[in-house]
Structure 1
Amino acid sequence: MQEKLYTVAEANAILPQVRRLVARILQARAEVLQLQPALWPAVEAAVFNGGSKQVSQASRLIVIIQEAIRALQARNIVVRDINTGLVDFPAERNGQLVFLCWQYDEPRVQFWHDIDHGFAGRQPIDDSF
């Protein structure tokens, strides 16, 4: 089965769902980072006493991140960076596989790049799509 390729219109149409999933990832990541100073001592203590609130909370947040990533991957959306909320939608341009590139808080999908160039090679979407 061929993987889903997106048009610009399709990527923008699904963007509200993608935005919600990426927001979950970013929020959970931020919460894990807030817990980070307390995590290692809590992990060490948990080995001896069977658990800790911080470790349980971090585990729950990691599951949220994993579930959101899986939901995006199920739509054939590539998660590039959970630190910035960067995702790619596979697309075709002039018969070549490319990525439509979107970063959290951008109003719409408005950039693309070759599969070998990544974020640094982003270009504005033009009439070739």
Structure 2
Amino acid sequence: MSIRYFTLQEANQIIIEIRPLMNDLLARRGKVVRIYKDIRPQIENTSSDFGGPVHTGLVQDFIAIETLIEQIKAYGCEIKNLEAGLIDFLAQINGRDVYLCWRYGEDEIAFFHDLNAGFQGRTPIS
């Protein structure tokens, strides 16, 4: 498998395309987290018979979340932190491998970081 490098323009175009997928993904994730908090005592009580519409809905949401993640990854980007909505695109700046870094809610990619630096190492693209 060959390594794909993105230009800033390519990555920003993909952001436009995956933003609706991220909207759905993060909404479903939030819903699952809220429901889990509500039903956690039932799950932890081994004598409870957990099932019914809540269970069915959760299963459907988990399947949808998995599908959305695969759709996003199919663009060639990497989901680094789902909770924070962090997505990285492999790129080269001045001959150096870096990640173009986008966080859900940002209009476009404006930062990059070294491969091992992570979000804390974000540097503005100038």
**Normalised TM-score (structure 1):** 0.86
Q: Tell me, what secondary structure is at the counterpart of 1:45? A: coil
How many residues align structurally?
122
Q: Distance in 2 between matches of 1:4 and 1:67?
A: 22
Relative to structure 1, is the Cα distance of residues 88 and 28 closer, same or farther in structure 2, using a 3 angstrom cutoff?
same
CA contact (8 A) 1:90 1:97 kept: yes
Q: What does residue 39 of structure 2 align with?
A: 38
CA RMSD of aligned residues (A): 1.6
| Letter paired with 1:72 | I
Q: Unpaired runs of 5+ in structure 1? A: none
**Normalised TM-score (structure 2):** 0.88
* Residue 17 (structure 1) shift: 1.4
Q: Distance in 2 between matches of 1:5 and 1:65?
A: 26
Q: Distance in 2 between matches of 1:42 and 1:121?
A: 39
CA contact (8 A) 2:97 2:115 kept: yes
CA contact (8 A) 1:42 1:54 kept: no
| TM superposition outliers: structure 1 runs of 4+ over 2 Å | none
Q: What does residue 95 of structure 2 align with?
A: 95
Q: Share of identical aligned residues, percent?
A: 30
Q: Unpaired runs of 5+ in structure 2? A: none
CA contact (8 A) 1:111 1:122 kept: yes
* Residue 42 (structure 1) shift: 5.9
Q: What does residue 73 of structure 1 align with?
A: 73
Q: Distance in 2 between matches of 1:40 and 1:71?
A: 33
